[in-house]
Chains A and B, each alone.
Chain A
Amino acid sequence: MIQHDTARHAADSSAADRSTAVILNIGKSMNRHHSRLPLATTVWIVATLTPWMAAQSSSLKPIVIRAEKAWLEPGKSLERARFTIRGDAISEVDQFEKGSKAGSDVISGAVLTAGFIDLHNQLGPTNELAEKVESFTPELRADQAYDPFDARWKRVLAQGITSLIYAPSNTSIAGGQAILLRPGLKPEKDAPATYVKFSLTREAQSTYKRPTSLVGAVDYLRESYRNLRSRTPRNLGAAELILATTVGGNSSVGIACNRPEEIQAALELSKEQNLDSFLILGDATGQFDPRILDDVLPTLAKEGKRLLLPALGSKSSQRAQALPAQLAKQGIPFAFSAASDRNNGINKCQWTMAMAMRSGLSADKALAALTTTPASWAKISDKAGSLYKDRQADLCLWSGEPWDLRSRLLLVVRAGKIVCDARPEKDTPMKDSPTGESHR
């Protein structure tokens, strides 16, 4: 299944597949020379080393992953798929020969999907994700509070989430900008904001600072937009500059709301200020009562508003389970968010897909709600959410279909590196597959 071999063509030959090799990191051992060299010497070194380095980089060890089936995108699969990964991108997608011995390196029934994308992640210390003295702080960036060395990112990766949008908490009415991150990797410098986070939940209402109520929260936001319009562009402060980007839908707004009146207020505000907004449902623990949507579903369908639903769990009500299918039927766009790291040993993404499908959601829609839909909302469809050539190498290998609760997540590749490996026996041929025994 996995090869770290130099020669990619050897992928089909079963014996070579089992060998392992280390991916070279050329830059790792290079030391900095602080002494100044004469120009001629420098030119000679560069001229000599450049072809050597080019040769080394061209022979970078690729990772080849083969699976019996791969979901290139929801609704589009490729049988006997072979993915070649060079660096952090998928360099080649093709099919391996039918006759090759499946038992040698392909786990029978293994299915490959794109890495999942979580549009609203707040893992980490909650008190770091909101300013406590002021509730209106759109100028703040969530990635400033991000700790790539937090051990909990492993749990996030183990659910198959390879990209996430790190968002400010719900305790500020305009907490700041949500930034695209890769769990466990250092953030890109000056990465653009995916959306500006608003919150109309009770968590944003304080006893010691404005606002103290929902009406006050809505009034605060309205007042901010009024002030914005009354100022000339030169006089805008940092907060207003960010707020200005949300007017007219230039940048998205995610509005957290968890009660019927909060949803009504969010819709009203979006309409008034002409915001390109989506509603983030569920509180910090992912609790959510779907009955709150009963009155607004026709409005949501009419206005094409988007919903970000919390992950479904074992305690989710029947109504909560049936909601995704209902939304799909009415044509309301939605995506799932894993919401928290408290997975209790359960893969929340898989569980969510399974429970939503149990209530009538199609497999394509369920998979799309974790891959292509969040990718398009985050405007990264050209990089993530699907498995095509030149896309980011974010892949999940499952022992069966990802929405089947009997399947296990065997392997997670994030940015071309294996970050989670739960194969029964790593890099060795499966003993049970050729004999027909299940590895599950």
Chain B
Amino acid sequence: MNPLRKPILPDASAKSLPMIHPHKLALGLALGLTLGLGASLGAQDRLLLKGAKVFTGKGPFQEGLQILVVDGKIQKVGKDLSAENSTVVDVSGKWITPGLVDANTSLGLATTHTNEQSNETTPHIPILDAIDPRAANFKRALGMGVTSAYVSPGGMNVFGGLGVVLKTAGPQLSERIILDKTGLRMTLGAMASSGNRSFRGGNPDSMFYRRPTSRMGVIWEIRSQFYKADAKRASGQGFDPEKDPATRTLIAALDGKLTVRTTARTDQDIRTALRLAEEFGIRIAIDEGTEAYNSLDQIAAAGVPVIASPPSVSQHPDRAERHLDTIKLLADAGVVVAIQTGQGLGALPLIREASFAVRYGLPRERALEAVTSVPAEILGVSDRVGSLKEGLDADIVVWDLNPLSVFSRPESVYVGGKLLHDGKAKKTKKVTSPRRGTPRKTRL
């Protein structure tokens, strides 16, 4: 026989199988299938984490809580759960939090401020098209316990576009999206108008030479666009939502269906943001709010949430003056406050920003809430992430120490019940000489 044509299965004539009674075979098969399938399903899809102190998204750390994960979702959080058919992970002495939620980032983007700058108002452009799912900063964020993040369009336009909430890890980008086309980016202050000039005697016909060029002009642009959209909504004539997605997006904001993520850093911008919200009846969330300590009562009275800029960053655009206790003051005033790492490409460790806030007076529980459940609520994804509750995605971080300690680091990060970051895995260190890349010679 040609060796290439050799059958894959053994030749039946070569060796006869031992005789088995058919009814015994059927019984054995049924038993084997029941036990084997059950065991394999249980081993793969059921996970029980026990022994750690658990922060569920609200309140203090609780001891003795166990978390049962089935098919990537949290099935139960409680004491003395049954470990039947489950893979039990004993994390005694560790600390568990929900996967952190970063409410404003530039993760996956090629530039810090990604905007289409040929037009001042691009409210309908989704940032999702510009996200590189394999960007290194996603991995860095995951390695510091961030499992969900809001990726925002840039702030170089008055209306920058629509953001997206997505997981920092997972199989494919489409499966990582939690909520697309959410949060309309609106930027107040000097940044939005900073590019609208003809530099160094450049051509005044350039597309960049346009209104607005001042803080007042930015507000004029916002009002102008909202009034136009409102007029189109009211008349209903000459407006086709399919052909005019920009107006459609602004109308969704006017109808309160879309949160307007308003970047306001200085005091006058924060007050303007509150005025605009009242004037047009839009639902806003203040991004950064660096000088929010000056308008605590007004923000609290308006019921506007603040996604505060990272306290560790000392320099802010618009020459906004940072106070280290701003987050604490906002929380004391009753403002819903979350912490963001902001639009840098380096992916700051979010948990360290929470530690900073604790250092300057924010209660520990409030600090952890500000990076888990509160941002999830602001982003409208609290039914998926941000807490350890039944039915939510099993995004879980196991820390080796109290996460607010500066020495803590995530030992295991589960996203959708899957261990996607293992901090315990030993990393082999490359031995290199001071000269880059050349291996050190061993001296004998």
B130 touching A219 by the CB < 8 A rule? no
Instruction: Specify which of A212, A218, A230 is in contact with B129 (CB 8 Å cutoff).
Output: A218
Q: How far is the CB of B106 from chain A (nearest CB, A)?
A: 13
Name which residue of chain B comes closest to A268, CB basis.
Answer: B129
User: Which residues in A have their C-beta under 8 angstroms from that of B127?
Assistant: 215
Instruction: Specify which of B115, B173, B174, B242 is in contact with A213 (CB 8 Å cutoff).
Output: B115
A299 touching B172 by the CB < 8 A rule? yes
User: Which residues in B have their C-beta under 8 angstroms from that of A265?
Assistant: 129-130
A212 touching B108 by the CB < 8 A rule? no
User: Which residues in A have their C-beta under 8 angstroms from that of B124?
Assistant: 219
Q: Is B262 an interface residue (CB 8 A)?
A: no
SS class, residues of chain A in contact with chain B: helix
B116 touching A212 by the CB < 8 A rule? yes
Instruction: Specify which of A208, A215, A260, A295 is in contact with B125 (CB 8 Å cutoff).
Output: A215
User: Which residues in A have their C-beta under 8 angstroms from that of B172?
Assistant: 295-296, 298-299
Cα of A261 to Cα of B109 in the assembled complex, Å: 9
A214 touching B130 by the CB < 8 A rule? yes
Q: Interface readout for B261-291 with A: 1 if CB under 8 Å, 0 if not? A: 0000000000000000000000000000000
Q: Is B131 an interface residue (CB 8 A)?
A: yes
B114 touching A291 by the CB < 8 A rule? no
Cα of A216 to Cα of B127 in the assembled complex, Å: 10
A260 touching B243 by the CB < 8 A rule? no
Q: Is A292 an interface residue (CB 8 A)?
A: yes
Q: Interface readout for A283-308 with B: 1 if CB under 8 Å, 0 if not? A: 00000000110111011000000000
B130 touching A295 by the CB < 8 A rule? no
Q: Is A226 an interface residue (CB 8 A)?
A: yes
B130 touching A215 by the CB < 8 A rule? yes
Instruction: Specify which of B110, B119, B161, B206 is in contact with A208 (CB 8 Å cutoff).
Output: B206
State the total of A-B contacts with C-beta under 8 angstroms. 84
Q: Is B153 an interface residue (CB 8 A)?
A: yes
A219 touching B122 by the CB < 8 A rule? yes
User: Which residues in A have their C-beta under 8 angstroms from that of B132?
Assistant: 259-261
Instruction: Specify which of B110, B117, B173 is in contact with A264 (CB 8 Å cutoff).
Output: B173
Task: Give the number of residues in B that approach A within 8 Å (Cβ atoms).
Answer: 32
A208 touching B207 by the CB < 8 A rule? yes
A211 touching B134 by the CB < 8 A rule? no
User: Which residues in B have their C-beta under 8 angstroms from that of A264?
Assistant: 129, 131, 133, 173
Cα of A291 to Cα of B133 in the assembled complex, Å: 12
Q: Is B2 an interface residue (CB 8 A)?
A: no
Cα of A145 to Cα of B74 in the assembled complex, Å: 62
Q: How far is the CB of B242 from chain A (nearest CB, A)?
A: 7
User: Which residues in B have their C-beta under 8 angstroms from that of A268?
Assistant: 129
Cα of A299 to Cα of B124 in the assembled complex, Å: 26
Q: Is B361 an interface residue (CB 8 A)?
A: no
Task: Give the number of residues in A that approach B within 8 Å (Cβ atoms).
Answer: 27
With A210-B119, A291-B134, A295-B172 given, is the CB distance from A226 to B129 under 8 Å? no
Instruction: Specify which of A210, A211, A227, A295 is in contact with B133 (CB 8 Å cutoff).
Output: A295
A216 touching B131 by the CB < 8 A rule? no
B243 touching A226 by the CB < 8 A rule? yes
Q: Is A209 an interface residue (CB 8 A)?
A: yes
B134 touching A292 by the CB < 8 A rule? yes
Instruction: Specify which of B110, B118, B240 is in contact with A211 (CB 8 Å cutoff).
Output: B118
In the complex, which residues 227-282 of chain A have their Cβ closer than 8 Å to any Cβ of chain B? Answer: 227, 230, 259-261, 264-265, 268
User: Which residues in B have their C-beta under 8 angstroms from that of A298?
Assistant: 172
Name which residue of chain B comes closest to A299, CB basis.
Answer: B172
Q: How far is the CB of B417 from chain A (nearest CB, A)?
A: 20
Q: Is B217 an interface residue (CB 8 A)?
A: no
User: Which residues in B have their C-beta under 8 angstroms from that of A230?
Assistant: 240, 243
Q: Interface readout for A191-221 with B: 1 if CB under 8 Å, 0 if not? A: 0000000000000000011111111101100
Q: How far is the CB of A408 from chain B (nearest CB, A)?
A: 32
With A215-B126, A219-B122, A226-B243 given, is the CB distance from A261 to B117 under 8 Å? no
A261 touching B131 by the CB < 8 A rule? yes
B129 touching A210 by the CB < 8 A rule? no
A294 touching B134 by the CB < 8 A rule? yes
B173 touching A212 by the CB < 8 A rule? no
B134 touching A216 by the CB < 8 A rule? no
In the complex, which residues 95-142 of chain A have their Cβ closer than 8 Å to any Cβ of chain B? Answer: none
B117 touching A213 by the CB < 8 A rule? yes
Q: How far is the CB of A174 from chain B (nearest CB, A)?
A: 16
B129 touching A209 by the CB < 8 A rule? no
In the complex, which residues 327-383 of chain B have their Cβ closer than 8 Å to any Cβ of chain A? Answer: none
User: Which residues in B have their C-beta under 8 angstroms from that of A259?
Assistant: 110, 132
User: Which residues in A have their C-beta under 8 angstroms from that of B131?
Assistant: 261, 264
With A210-B207, A299-B172 given, is the CB distance from A261 to B125 under 8 Å? no
Most buried by B among A261, A291, A294: A261
User: Which residues in A have their C-beta under 8 angstroms from that of B134?
Assistant: 260, 291-292, 294-295
Contacts beyond the supplied A216-B115, A219-B116, A219-B122: 5 A-B pairs with Cβ under 8 Å: A208-B208, A209-B118, A216-B116, A226-B245, A264-B173
Nearest 4 A/B pairs, CB to CB: A216-B116, A210-B118, A265-B129, A212-B117
Q: List 25 A-B contacts (CB under 8 A).
A: A208-B208, A210-B118, A210-B207, A213-B117, A214-B110, A214-B129, A215-B126, A215-B129, A215-B130, A215-B153, A216-B115, A216-B122, A218-B129, A219-B125, A226-B242, A227-B243, A260-B132, A261-B108, A261-B110, A261-B130, A261-B131, A261-B132, A294-B134, A295-B133, A295-B172
Task: List residues of chain A with CB under 8 Å of any chain B CB.
Answer: 208-216, 218-219, 226-227, 230, 259-261, 264-265, 268, 291-292, 294-296, 298-299
